[in-house]
Amino acid sequence: MPGPAVTYADGKYDTEFKEGKGSSELASILQSVKKVNTYVQYRTYVFSNESHITLNSLGQGSLTDKAVASLITNEAASGTALLIKSSDMRIALLTCAHVVDLPDTVISWSEYSDLQSNKYIHSISIKEKQRLYVRDVPQSNDYVLLASDQKKDLAIIGCKLSGENIRYPEIFPYPIGNSDLLQWGSSVILAGFPASQLMITRGIVSLSPDPDAGFLTDAPFNEGFSGGIALAVMDGVPNFELVGIGKSVSARTEYFLKPEKENYEFAYNPSVPYSGSVYVNQKKDINYGVTWIVPINKVIQFYTENRNSLIGEGYNMDEVFLNKRIR
């Protein structure tokens, strides 16, 4: 049994975690943190440089007639989601929009030395299918996107349950905090699925001069952590409160040439010249320790903006976003 909470009633989020370890409380919280995967299938049309396809000309005739090639491509994204509803034959989770709401259309432009000519389309990919999958949530499938805001980078996904003897998983068990009370030096704990592994880490808050940008923490952040939770402590452990959702990390994109097959598909002999096909690939060079968090007050605003449509679909989550808030 956890010991009694040690309180420091100053009404501020702690800048360090004082007496009390909170391990059992964190274990309970982690039951509501889930890994989410998104799989998207695109139909991609490729055009020759001589065709001079523009946005205006796309609607004039069939894409198939204009394209020199048509192929199926697949994209995948993974991240973290928080269980926020588990009742009334429904499951709902909160995550980042960029994890579960991939673009409907992706356009690649032709490049010319004449900058005025860089208006022609090289390829266009149109989303045909999308599937959302949440790991370790029994009796749930066929998740759909219920609400999304690309600017706030927030989304809610959900699914309807069927059958008998439904086993409802536990939703986030602690109160919703108030991110406006965070200060320079406030301590936070982040939880998510970097590299598909459930992990927690700790960081210090830095405030941003842009109120719409969220706040920063120096907690390490890696691919898969998007949508993870940020917890602060009010007046001593184990008084955890949800103060934000992990959004993104500062990174620099680098492009490089790669062979037709990946290293794990084929072993290349570095002493023999390579003569196969070469492709351009990209990777992100992550600036660790510069992590953006969507503040919980923005999350509440997002829920409020979409509340009527969510309730109309049977997903009332006032219990988490409104009733659980204590200040």
Cβ neighbours of residue 277 closer than 8 Å, sequence gap 6 or more: 259, 260
Which spans in 155-242 are helix H? none
Q: What is the DSSP letter of 312?
A: H
Mode of pairing for the β-strands spanning 144-149 and 121-134: unpaired
What separation in angstroms does the CA of 318 have from each of 55, 304, 306?
A: 43, 9, 12
Q: Which tokens sit at 206?
A: 């830095």
Per-residue pLDDT of the chain (327 residues; tens, 9 = 90+): 444 444 456 788 998 876 567 889 999 999 999 999 999 999 999 988 778 788 777 766 677 778 888 899 899 999 999 999 999 999 999 999 999 999 999 988 887 655 565 678 888 999 999 999 998 887 778 899 999 999 999 999 999 988 778 888 999 999 999 999 999 999 999 999 998 899 999 999 999 888 778 899 998 877 889 999 999 998 888 889 999 999 865 444 455 566 766 655 567 767 777 777 766 665 555 545 688 999 999 999 999 999 999 999 999 999 999 877 766
* Cα–Cα separations (whole angstroms), residue 280 to 14, 254, 255, 264, 283: 47, 10, 7, 18, 10
So what CATH class is 23-321? mainly beta
Nearest 5°: the CA angle 93, 98, 99 is 50
Q: What are the residues whose beta carbons fall under 8 Å from the beta carbon of 127, sequence distance 6 or more?
A: 40, 41, 42, 102, 103, 104, 105
- What is the C-alpha to C-alpha distance for residues 125 and 71, in angstroms, rounded to an integer? 9
Q: Around 209, how many Cα atoms within 13 Å sit in the side-chain half-sphere?
A: 0
| Contact (Cβ atoms closer than 8 angstroms) between residue 293 and residue 215 | yes
What residue ranges do the domains of the chain occupy? 23-321
Alpha-carbon gap, residue 39 to 77, rounded angstroms:
7
Q: How far is CA 29 from CA 151, 192, 322, in A?
A: 28, 11, 19
Spatial distance between the Cα atoms of 160 and 144, rounded to a whole number of angstroms: 9
pTM across the whole model: 0.82
* 200 and 38 Cβ atoms separated by less than 8 Å: no
